[in-house]
Amino acid sequence: MLFQQFLRLSLFAHLKVGLVLTIGLSACVSMEKDQVPTSISNDIVIDLNRLTYSIANEHDQFYSFIGVRALSMVHLAMHNAFNAITPEFTTYIFEDKAKDADPIAAAATSTQLILEKAYPARKDTIAMVCSRWLSQIEEGEAKEKGIALGKKVANQLIAMREGDGHEKQGDYTPMTKPGDYQYTPGFDYVWKPDFTFARPFTLDSVSQFRSPTPPPFESDTYQESYEEVKLYGKKGSQERSAEQTHIGHWWAEFGEHSWNRIGRITAVEKNLSLRESARLFALLNMNLYDLYLVSFDSKYHYDTWRPYTAIREADRDNNPNTLADLQWEPEMVTPPWPEYPSAHAAVGAAGAEIVASVFGTTAVDFTMTSVTAEPPGSERSYTNLDQVADHCADSRIWNGYHFRFATEEGKKQGRQLASFVLNNFLLPLDKQKKDQELTHN
């Protein structure tokens, strides 16, 4: 019941939910400007990403960790398999070699096993797509070795992630002093309030990149951020431009939607290789999974109120310069979790950092729409990933969700984690060799 309430009242409230829940593979294709290439370079990676994304979205619109966890495992398995056959990057805790194995057979097999474990009710759809790829491969030793490799990488990841705590909810009781998070309209609960049991993909601890203390009420930073969101994040604000409103709604979708879509579009348009594509999606999704753990650890550690509460209860913050507005409402319905830092800003900055690293530049261009675009289907074009990260963060202010200091900290936190992941996982083998030589010298 509460989940259905969230669907009605959350940031997706203006969507036709039935359409989103029934979106299929063909709908995903038509929503994007990404055509699968005719070569056999990275098309299986794109197709299996789209399959995983679609099943996860149909399951619960990424409201749980099941979807991003499945995306991480699917692409880490592909990455491990491809690099076991022809090493180009370091693998993710996998040492076996299988140089004569067919990579397509390995990818299809590993994906089928991982997705059937995560979404047993969708076995028919999963088997249909993966079997289609397997049927295209000539029978023989290479195919058999590929299937065996796919089983090995999938079963290892499934065993590693068993009991990782991704499905647990935790308990929460809101406090009452000024600045404490309070439930916002439509909700009498919070999402995932306890991450002490959650196991990351890349980190030793979910508190490894915990944010610093948010600014106090009497600071200039707090007051400036308060006034900004009060003016520009208000429902129907006359201060906010039409362009800002469009950006706010367009970037409202969760990061699992936007960054997997950006990955598909750019991987095709820039003609990334099979191994580069698998690595891109593995980096994006395991970073995304861990970033949610890091961000929400900070959120519940500081447990700060949303603008909805702060503006209506400003008389309680002991700052005479923050004037209360008892009628203030945000542009979009506020999600049910504490304010600081902004997870969405963190996801945008981290995604930009990873995509820029893979392509070697921030000057990456793409055109796409989003599932929350208003009007539906309207597109935006970008030529620089830093602007993408900035718009993603700014949208949270223009929606009335966040203070500027929370989005700035979110961007910082996202880039910190992305840099950590990029410097420690799935490294190009030539870079690892050079680093080792420098260490020994």
Domain count, the chain: 2
Same domain assignment for residues 245 and 346: yes
What is d(CA 304, CA 310) in angstroms, rounded to the nearest whole number? Answer: 9
Same domain assignment for residues 272 and 413: yes
Same domain assignment for residues 426 and 308: yes
Place of tokens 């830092």: 341
**Domain CATH for 242:** 1.10.606.20
What is d(CA 437, CA 195) in angstroms, rounded to the nearest whole number? Answer: 39
Domain ends where: 161, 185, 206? 161
DSSP 87-154: -SB--SS-----TTS-HHHHHHHHHHHHHHHH-GGGHHHHHHHHHHHHHTSPSSHHHHHHHHHHHHHH
Q: Do the domain assignments include residue 313?
A: yes
Same domain assignment for residues 235 and 317: yes
What is d(CA 158, CA 181) in angstroms, rounded to the nearest whole number? Answer: 36
Q: Do the domain assignments include residue 199?
A: no
- pTM score: 0.90
Same domain assignment for residues 323 and 406: yes
Same domain assignment for residues 154 and 257: no
Domain ends where: 161, 181, 200? 161
Q: What confidence score (pLDDT) does residue 439 get?
A: 54
Same domain assignment for residues 109 and 252: no
Q: Do the domain assignments include residue 301?
A: yes
Q: Do the domain assignments include residue 287?
A: yes
Same domain assignment for residues 147 and 242: no
What is d(CA 109, CA 147) in angstroms, rounded to the nearest whole number? Answer: 6
Instruction: Tally helices (H) and strands (E) across the chain.
Output: 17, 2
Parent domain of 116: 9-161
* Cβ pair 370, 257 in contact under 8 A: yes
Q: Do the domain assignments include residue 1?
A: no
Amino acid at 73: M
Q: Do the domain assignments include residue 255?
A: yes
DSSP 189-208: S-S----TT---SS-S-TTT
pLDDT per residue rounded down to tens, the chain (441 residues) = 333 334 333 433 333 333 333 333 433 333 344 433 333 479 999 999 999 999 999 999 898 889 999 999 999 999 999 999 999 999 999 999 999 999 999 999 999 999 999 999 999 999 999 999 999 999 999 999 999 999 999 999 999 999 998 888 888 888 999 999 999 999 999 987 777 788 999 999 999 999 999 999 999 999 999 999 999 999 999 999 999 999 999 999 999 999 999 999 999 999 999 999 999 999 999 999 999 999 999 999 999 999 999 999 999 999 999 999 999 999 999 999 999 999 999 999 999 999 999 999 999 999 999 999 999 999 999 999 999 999 999 999 999 999 999 999 999 999 999 999 999 999 999 865 555 544 554
Same domain assignment for residues 395 and 269: yes
Report phi then psi at 223, rounded to 5. -65, -45
Same domain assignment for residues 383 and 254: yes
Same domain assignment for residues 117 and 248: no
Closest CA to 328 of 235, 433, 227: 235
Q: Do the domain assignments include residue 193?
A: no
Domain ends where: 161, 177, 195? 161
**Domain CATH for 100:** 1.20.144
Locate the DSSP E strands across 237-305: none
Largest Cα–Cα distance of the chain, in whole Å?
A: 78
Q: Do the domain assignments include residue 116?
A: yes
Same domain assignment for residues 148 and 254: no
